[in-house]
Amino acid sequence: MTTLNTTTSVSDRQAAALRAGLVLLSRVGDTAAFYLTFDAPTYDTAPTLNALIADRTPRDKRSAAATDTARLTDLRFVAIALDTPLNDVRDYDDGVTVSIAVRLVIDGVDVRVWTPLTDSVTISFARALVLVPTVVPTGATA
């Protein structure tokens, strides 16, 4: 991914990440609610923006399946608004949780819009939606 030059000041890189957050919000509108965090803590790190999909499931309707379905739906709408496919899957060490994400670069800032999932049915469905790379990390074609 293309990132901002790390020779700029920490505050400039943090401001760039904050601006990327504003661009993200303007592009996706009310398709999802987020917890936004941004950082560029040292001079040798590029700025990043993390946007965690917030749980908007009504409290009386919460279950793993309902929450995960709502979060995945929001993430899919975000992906459509950003014209970027779901393109990142991470398995947690607990053997249960998986995160699904849209990763992109906005104005030189690495952005990850993501949600954790724990419901096995939703996870299976989500994995099928993620864009599979056509090149394996070794450089050989898949």
Q: What is the pLDDT of residue 140?
A: 43
Q: In this structure, how many other beta carbons lie within 10 angstroms of the beta carbon of residue 108?
A: 18
Q: What angle do CA 69, 53, 3 make, to 5 degrees?
A: 130
Of 82, 98, 81, 78, the closest CA to residue 90 belongs to 98
Residue 53: predicted pLDDT: 96
**E strands present in 15-79:** 34-39, 48-53
What pLDDT shows up at residue 137? Answer: 44
For residue 104, with 0-12 CB atoms within 10 Å meaning exposed, 13-18 middle and 19 or more buried, which class applies?
Answer: buried
* Mean pLDDT computed over every residue of the chain: 86
- Span 130-141, average pLDDT: 53
- What is the chain's Cα-based Rg? 16
Asked if residue 78 has pLDDT above 60, the reply is yes
135 has pLDDT over 70: no
Residue % of the chain over a pLDDT of 90: 63
Cα distance between residue 113 and residue 104, in whole Å: 9
* Comparison of pLDDT for 39 and 19, the residue scoring more: 19
Per-residue pLDDT for 130 more than 50? yes
Indicate if the pLDDT at residue 68 is higher than 90: yes
For residues 62-72, give the mean pLDDT. 90
CA-CA distance, 132 to 142, in Å (whole number)?
Answer: 10
Does residue 21 surpass a pLDDT of 50?
Answer: yes
Half-sphere exposure in the Cβ direction for 56 (13 Å, CA): 14
Residue 125: Cβ within 10 Å count: 15
